[in-house]
Chains A and B, each alone.
Chain A
Amino acid sequence: MPTVNDTVWREQDTTPAAIEAALREMLIERHAESEFYVPARVLNLICVVDRDWSGEIANRLRAVGRFHPSRTIVCSVSPNRSSLDAIATVAASAHPEPGSLALTRETVVIDVGARHIPHLDTIIDPLVVTDLATMVWAPHGHWDAVDALRGMSQIVLLDSVDDPDVAGALRRATGLLEDRNVVDLAWIRSAPWRERIAASFDSPARRLDLVRIRGVELRHHPYSGAAGLLLCGWLTSRLGWKPAQLTRPEPGRAEGTVVGPGGEVTLTLQSVPLDVPGLSGITLRMEDGSSLSLERGRGGLRATRRTPAGVESSWTLLGASRGEGGILGEGIRQALMRDEIYGPALRATAGLLA
């Protein structure tokens, strides 16, 4: 028996008004079917994707599970298309439990042409749920579409590691942050690392060590340099270090020295083989020769503390991997919570690249 029950509408050479009317009609229809069907009203998500790769994005969105936006509008871009085709779906659990709610999720896929992009707002605006926050995601680099939707979106979802030009990606995020909230999946992937590093220095005794950090060695997936830089930017901004430009002595390695309240701190970022995007490990070295390392491991991060005398102790900082589906879901959840420390970390990161 199917667990999800879809109501589908489709039309070729259609208009935004027709799509909007169809959505409204389908919602009334679903509610008439069962009073337990209630539309979720949290967030609009607009995805602008290349038509050839839209399936991959659809798969990623399916994997976010319960952290789905209320209304997802996918603009599938073909270079030469001149008319709009659309498929709208209102999906809900096929078997709502008596006495409980069954939230509906609405998805609209619109085939658009490159010519539509500069005025995409005129197509999308009638389709978003009014008064809900609207987030834009352009995973295939349609930044012109993000610009076109500037007036109607409050949040931009991006992944700084998607762009091979790390400096350009971080500059773009800084620009977007001027008038919109930015949710950066690279930043979200670093959250468990930031939480664990913060916890390691949380006791009053350990807090004293923060000014005694003399070296940070960060290991990351070859394509996750941006994530590593953002973590260094976060440490730099939080600990009052003065950013200075990093150099690249060899491919996959960046290094440099920043100055903090306690003295100089050397930063090293090294790309290492890793199965999944993100960070592999970090070592923080203190002036007395002690160190703290966190490494990605089974069941969480493996922590190793080494005393000045070289005595080591290790333990696991428990936490389940969220997987890439979980990261995207977390990005959608974070859309409604402005992260006030991302901006300073991003600016400090820019200082490391200047």
Chain B
Amino acid sequence: MTETNPLSEGLERLPVVPTTLVIFGGTGDLAKRKLLPAIYNLAHEGALPERFNLVGVSRSDMPHDDYRGMAITAIRAFSRTKPDEAVLEKLLDEIRYIPGTFDDPEVYERLGATLAELDASAGEPMARTFYISTAPEFFPVIVEKLGEHGLNLNDRADVRIVIEKPFGTSLAEAIDLNRRVLEVFDERQVFRIDHYLGKETVQNMLAFRFANGMFEPLWNRNYIDHVQITAAEDIGIGTRAGYYDNAGALRDLVQNHMLQLLTLLCMEPPVVFSADEVRDEKVKVLHAIKTPEKIDEMAVRAQYSRGVVAGVEVNGYLDEPGVPEDSSTETFAALRLEVDNWRWAGIPFYLRTGKRLPRRVTEIAVVLKPVPHMAFGGQNVPPNQLILTMQPNEGVSLSLGAKVPGTRMTIRPVNMEFLYGTAFISQSPEAYERLILDAMRGEATLFTRNDEAEAQWRICDPIVSHWESHPRRLAQYPAGSQPPGVADRLLLEGHKWRAI
């Protein structure tokens, strides 16, 4: 009876160990918009641990009460469920706030004392989850200070650290950050977050592939002609010029989210659905992608210029506030990759992402090979396409050839469509709700492992380096238009981009 908890069997929400969650960057935008509302929603649903404490650490100097007030305002503004005042009050009743700079030893002394006090109040040592949602330059500083103050380990309870993206801005930085993190924490304690993996639709890709026998026989180079992965946004960079101009489209979306989609699409079925089995398979896919060499043949970039979106004239990238007028940061990137393994050899994978495109859509289009012989009078019938849409309307659509009603045998493509929103009653939790809960549980399947982060960078780093060493005026595309023609350069004969 003591090996497993017989009472937890069959429960929809499994117990989580009593935990104190410490948010570094507790007054930041991410904390206000995502983390605090996610924590509230977990409380609302009754999904937080039996005992739960929240501690904010940030540079702003303010008393506990002001921090509580800030948290209440943020939750009221951004929670997906209307807050229940009693739950909100109880959640934040004992919230603590520690002001200070992240390199200040006193912050960690006060944090240690606060954690000890909370343990004493609970009458038992509580697990500790440190969530680092600061600017990336503070990641190693915080990790090292936690280590110096002995907060990285606790003999009597689990200690975990969640690290936000970006995990480095180059391969060298990712390797260095991994080294510094792993000098203080064991890999099992480290949860590198990519919130894309917390999205239900991304997880649904695994269900789609591995719970349906009908697709597996087709899921290889014998039947698939090519794959297009698109992550398009209709918005510009807004007020994020400081971040975006240093990052660009490739670092912002390709290195993490889009490569995650690619690995989930291409991975072999894991023996069991456990963290290391799943991540082993994903890393194998990344290792099978050749390190890019002839960059100009497999990657292109562009920038949006002044244009019209939804009938409104908008700035070009170089006119956006805070962007240097000679910036060569790309707002559109497209790649052609190959996964060199038995299943996928020879199949091009086209990836593209950009801002100020005609609409917001994230999708994977799997284009099948044409039928070997078309018996219907030489009609040019497009091959079948399987479209997995992540946003905005999550679903799966399969294009099929069908006869147009009438006396002639005319074939045209029709869509067989499945929309998740029509088939499930449940509301999907926010990605951060799922991921915070998983981190507190120590469930790492939906987090990026150290070798995975480095393998992602191994693919993107040569492209980033090449582009940085060749600054120039980039190809332009008018805001609100289809992706720039420069992306056509990547296409192999007979292929064409799907319209966005």
Partner of A197, one of B7, B16, B17, B44: B7
Partner of B392, one of A68, A100, A210: A100
Report whether A194 and B7 are in contact in the complex, using a CB–CB cutoff of 8 Å.
Answer: yes
Residues of the A chain whose Cβ atoms lie less than 8 Å from the Cβ of B426: 333
Report whether B10 and A321 are in contact in the complex, using a CB–CB cutoff of 8 Å.
Answer: no
Report whether A207 and B1 are in contact in the complex, using a CB–CB cutoff of 8 Å.
Answer: yes
Report whether B5 and A202 are in contact in the complex, using a CB–CB cutoff of 8 Å.
Answer: yes
Nearest CB on A from B251, distance (A): 28
Residues of the A chain whose Cβ atoms lie less than 8 Å from the Cβ of B15: 195, 198-199, 202
A320 at the interface (CB under 8 A from B): yes
A103 at the interface (CB under 8 A from B): yes
User: What sequence of 0s and 1s flags, for each residue 204-222 of chain A, a beta carbon within 8 Å of any chain B beta carbon?
Assistant: 1001101100000000000
Residues of the A chain whose Cβ atoms lie less than 8 Å from the Cβ of B50: 196, 199-200, 202, 303, 317
Identity of the chain B residue whose Cβ is nearest the Cβ of A203 in the assembled complex? B17
Residues of the A chain whose Cβ atoms lie less than 8 Å from the Cβ of B16: 199
A298 at the interface (CB under 8 A from B): yes
Bound-complex Cα distance A194 to B11 (A) = 8
Decide yes or no: A340 and B10 within 8 Å by CB, A261-B1, A313-B123, A319-B46 being known contacts: yes
Bound-complex Cα distance A333 to B428 (A) = 13
Decide yes or no: A320 and B425 within 8 Å by CB, A199-B49, A203-B17, A204-B2 being known contacts: no
B424 at the interface (CB under 8 A from A): yes
Decide yes or no: A208 and B2 within 8 Å by CB, A100-B392, A194-B7 being known contacts: yes
Bound-complex Cα distance A250 to B49 (A) = 38
Report whether B7 and A103 are in contact in the complex, using a CB–CB cutoff of 8 Å.
Answer: no
User: What sequence of 0s and 1s flags, for each residue 40-69 of chain A, a beta carbon within 8 Å of any chain B beta carbon?
Assistant: 111100000000000000000000001110
Partner of A318, one of B8, B17, B91: B91
Bound-complex Cα distance A207 to B421 (A) = 40
Bound-complex Cα distance A317 to B89 (A) = 13
Decide yes or no: A39 and B43 within 8 Å by CB, A201-B5, A299-B87 being known contacts: no
Report whether B6 and A195 are in contact in the complex, using a CB–CB cutoff of 8 Å.
Answer: no
A169 at the interface (CB under 8 A from B): no
A29 at the interface (CB under 8 A from B): no
Partner of B44, one of A42, A103, A305, A319: A319
Bound-complex Cα distance A204 to B156 (A) = 12
Contact residues of B between 1 and 27, Cβ < 8 Å to A: 1-2, 5-13, 15-18
- Interface size on B, as a range, is 35 or more
Residues of the B chain whose Cβ atoms lie less than 8 Å from the Cβ of A303: 50
Nearest CB on B from A191, distance (A): 7
Report whether B7 and A201 are in contact in the complex, using a CB–CB cutoff of 8 Å.
Answer: yes
Nearest CB on B from A138, distance (A): 21
Bound-complex Cα distance A340 to B10 (A) = 6
Contact residues of B between 64 and 94, Cβ < 8 Å to A: 81, 84, 86-91
B33 at the interface (CB under 8 A from A): no
Report whether B419 and A38 are in contact in the complex, using a CB–CB cutoff of 8 Å.
Answer: yes
Residues of the A chain whose Cβ atoms lie less than 8 Å from the Cβ of B12: 191, 337
Residues of the A chain whose Cβ atoms lie less than 8 Å from the Cβ of B195: none
A289 at the interface (CB under 8 A from B): no
Bound-complex Cα distance A61 to B162 (A) = 42
Report whether A299 and B8 are in contact in the complex, using a CB–CB cutoff of 8 Å.
Answer: no
B427 at the interface (CB under 8 A from A): yes
Bound-complex Cα distance A201 to B9 (A) = 13
Report whether A341 and B87 are in contact in the complex, using a CB–CB cutoff of 8 Å.
Answer: no
Report whether A103 and B84 are in contact in the complex, using a CB–CB cutoff of 8 Å.
Answer: no
Bound-complex Cα distance A238 to B11 (A) = 12
Contact residues of B between 325 and 345, Cβ < 8 Å to A: none
B45 at the interface (CB under 8 A from A): yes
Decide yes or no: A317 and B46 within 8 Å by CB, A195-B11, A202-B5 being known contacts: yes
Identity of the chain B residue whose Cβ is nearest the Cβ of A234 in the assembled complex? B7
Report whether B1 and A192 are in contact in the complex, using a CB–CB cutoff of 8 Å.
Answer: no
Nearest CB on B from A65, distance (A): 10
User: What sequence of 0s and 1s flags, for each residue 78-107 of chain A, a beta carbon within 8 Å of any chain B beta carbon?
Assistant: 000000000000000000000111010000
B240 at the interface (CB under 8 A from A): no
Partner of B45, one of A99, A197, A200, A319: A319
Nearest CB on B from A98, distance (A): 10
Report whether B425 and A43 are in contact in the complex, using a CB–CB cutoff of 8 Å.
Answer: yes
Report whether B422 and A38 are in contact in the complex, using a CB–CB cutoff of 8 Å.
Answer: yes
Residues of the B chain whose Cβ atoms lie less than 8 Å from the Cβ of A239: 1, 6-7
B52 at the interface (CB under 8 A from A): yes
Bound-complex Cα distance A42 to B424 (A) = 6
Contact residues of A between 315 and 339, Cβ < 8 Å to B: 315-321, 332-333, 336-337, 339
B290 at the interface (CB under 8 A from A): no
A300 at the interface (CB under 8 A from B): yes
Identity of the chain B residue whose Cβ is nearest the Cβ of A239 in the assembled complex? B6
Contact residues of B between 424 and 449, Cβ < 8 Å to A: 424-427
Residues of the B chain whose Cβ atoms lie less than 8 Å from the Cβ of A38: 419, 421-422
Decide yes or no: A298 and B422 within 8 Å by CB, A195-B46, A204-B2, A319-B44 being known contacts: no
Nearest CB on B from A126, distance (A): 22
Residues of the B chain whose Cβ atoms lie less than 8 Å from the Cβ of A320: 44-46, 81, 84, 86-87
Bound-complex Cα distance A321 to B426 (A) = 18
Identity of the chain A residue whose Cβ is nearest the Cβ of B417 in the assembled complex? A38
Contact residues of A between 222 and 239, Cβ < 8 Å to B: 235, 238-239
Bound-complex Cα distance A100 to B394 (A) = 10
Apart from A299-B86, A300-B87, A320-B46: 10 A-B pairs, beta carbons within 8 A: A191-B12, A194-B7, A198-B7, A207-B2, A239-B1, A300-B86, A313-B122, A319-B46, A320-B45, A320-B81
- CB pairs A–B below 8 angstroms (6 shown): A43-B425, A68-B425, A313-B122, A333-B425, A337-B12, A341-B10
A residues whose Cβ falls under 8 Å from a Cβ of B: 38-43, 66-68, 99-101, 103, 191-192, 194-204, 207-208, 210-211, 235, 238-240, 261, 298-300, 303, 305, 313, 315-321, 332-333, 336-337, 339-341
Top 3 A-B residue pairs of the complex, sorted by shortest distance between their CB atoms: A319-B46, A341-B10, A299-B90
